[in-house]
Amino acid sequence: MRLLLRLRVACHTTLFISRSLMTTGASHSKGRLPDMTEVRDRLRAIVGASTNWSDHVQVMEERKSLQSLLASKQEVLPPRKMKDSYIEVMLPLGSQPQIREKYLNVYNNVRFGRILEDLDSLGVLICYTHTKSELRQTSPLSIVTALVDKIDLRKHLIYPDSDIKITGHVSWVGKTSMEVKMHMLQLHDGAFSPVLDATFVMVARDPENKRPAFVNPLIPDGPEEENLFKQGELNKTRRVDFSTASLLKTAPTADERQVVHDMFLNTLDQRTVSFRSRILPPNSVWMEDTKLKGLEICHPQERNIFNRIFGGFLMRKAYELGWATACSFGGSRPYVVAVDDIMFQRPVEIGSLLFLSAQVCYTESKYIQVRVHSEVSDPITREHHTTNIFHFTFMSDKEVLHIVPQTYGESMLYLDGKRHFDATVKSRNGQNGSV
């Protein structure tokens, strides 16, 4: 928090921000922070996005000419500090009641899916701020969301009638990728208190979104920024380790194999001497019976500034299906407590059919771990591709049933769910498990 306050003061010198009135510059000195509409308008201006879908081919053609503006190597780009990309925006739910409707759920709280959309847009704007050139308004870069590394919720409820502030900045930079940290706070009794912390990774691509493109280096300034930067390095290593140990590539550990075998034995019918007759243990549900599915037609209305489907929209749809799955399973209102490792594997084209499939893959105490798989299909060629895997952790009001896998594939989903649960909720609450 101390770092953020320092950054906030330092932001008055940030040229891009103050010139574009995006945040702590002129608009802030008059006491007003930009809102999400201004964030999206600014993003459209930065990439020169068309407002009419009928113009999109021509606009993409025009963007090709920006290819020559890309840096040939990272070293020629001026280094930036964390404060250079620092942005504060307001979601004025309290002071502008007319915007509430879009954010409301049936319980008269804020829809988390809408917050995911706002975080995604803001994260991209933060990266454009980091890579901003003083010489021109339009950026040759196409900056896309590669990963939602983690979102930790500190509050279960977000109120629909109090102003929300979101702050963020680039916290680590590779060659073409940038880690962004964002914090959301809500006004209570005259002071802003933390609601969630989010870490995203964005990747810069060329104007046609075909190849990676270099981004400005980041030089940490002072011990606090150095710590954040080191944490960014560690996050990268952790992601590589997690992916190397993926159950899609590597066998489960000895402890995990024991978990699976114990569950298997627990489902054998003791009256028959057979590995085939399986019975559901008490207080349990077969994993197969927790599935919910959805379909979206990817209309132009949901496009992003690069004429692909907006990542925030994909997250909102996956989250809402995940929530419905947890709700149907748990039989009471679930609260999201963590989101992690949402990897955007490939862009979703306008016109595709998007198939979403959610299932509960792990439970412990009151916690429900839901996995949502999304794949697209071209309705003409019928080609199918996985685009994302989403992991959401929910908490129910009461203890929930155990999940029991029946097949080897489901057992791997169970272990993967357990790994995600351990990496988010367990590590936050302490390994000795005060879940």
Ligand X SMILES: CCCCCCCCCCCCCCCCCC(=O)SCCNC(=O)CCNC(=O)[C@H](O)C(C)(C)COP(=O)(O)OP(=O)(O)OC[C@H]1O[C@@H](n2cnc3c(N)ncnc32)[C@H](O)[C@@H]1OP(=O)(O)O
Binding site for ligand X (CB under 6 A): 40, 43-44, 49, 51, 120-121, 124, 144-147, 174-177, 201, 203, 205, 212, 239, 303-305, 308, 310-311, 343-347
By beta carbon distance, the residue nearest ligand X is 174
**3-class DSSP assignment, residue 91:** strand
Question: Closest distance between ligand X and the C-beta of residue 332, in Å?
Answer: 33
Cβ distance 311 to 344 under 8 Å? yes
- Contacts with 62 (C-beta within 8 Å, 6 or more apart), sequence order: 48
Give the nearer residue to ligand X in terms of CB position, either 40 or 426.
Answer: 40
Question: Closest distance between ligand X and the C-beta of residue 146, in Å?
Answer: 4
- Amino acid identity of residue 176, one-letter, is T
Give the nearer residue to ligand X in terms of CB position, either 201 or 360.
Answer: 201
Please state, as a whole number, how many other Cβ atoms lie within 10 Å of the Cβ of residue 378. 13
Give the nearer residue to ligand X in terms of CB position, either 52 or 274.
Answer: 52
* Residue-wise burial string across 83-115, b where 16 or more C-beta atoms lie within 10 A, e elsewhere: bbbbbbbbbbbbeeeeeeeebebeeebbbbbbb
C-alpha angle 120-5-112 in degrees, rounded to nearest 5:
30
Give the nearer residue to ligand X in terms of CB position, either 310 or 394.
Answer: 310
**Alpha-helical segments (H) within 282-380:** 311-330
The tokens for 31 are 């006491």
Question: Closest distance between ligand X and the C-beta of residue 373, in Å?
Answer: 16
Give the nearer residue to ligand X in terms of CB position, either 205 or 391.
Answer: 205
The tokens for 375 are 């794949």
Give the nearer residue to ligand X in terms of CB position, either 304 or 325.
Answer: 304
Question: Closest distance between ligand X and the C-beta of residue 367, in Å?
Answer: 25
Cβ distance 169 to 180 under 8 Å? yes
Give the nearer residue to ligand X in terms of CB position, either 117 or 256.
Answer: 117
Please state, as a whole number, how many other Cβ atoms lie within 10 Å of the Cβ of residue 380. 7
**Alpha-helical segments (H) within 48-90:** 56-64
Question: Closest distance between ligand X and the C-beta of residue 65, in Å?
Answer: 20
Question: Closest distance between ligand X and the C-beta of residue 230, in Å?
Answer: 16
Question: Closest distance between ligand X and the C-beta of residue 308, in Å?
Answer: 6
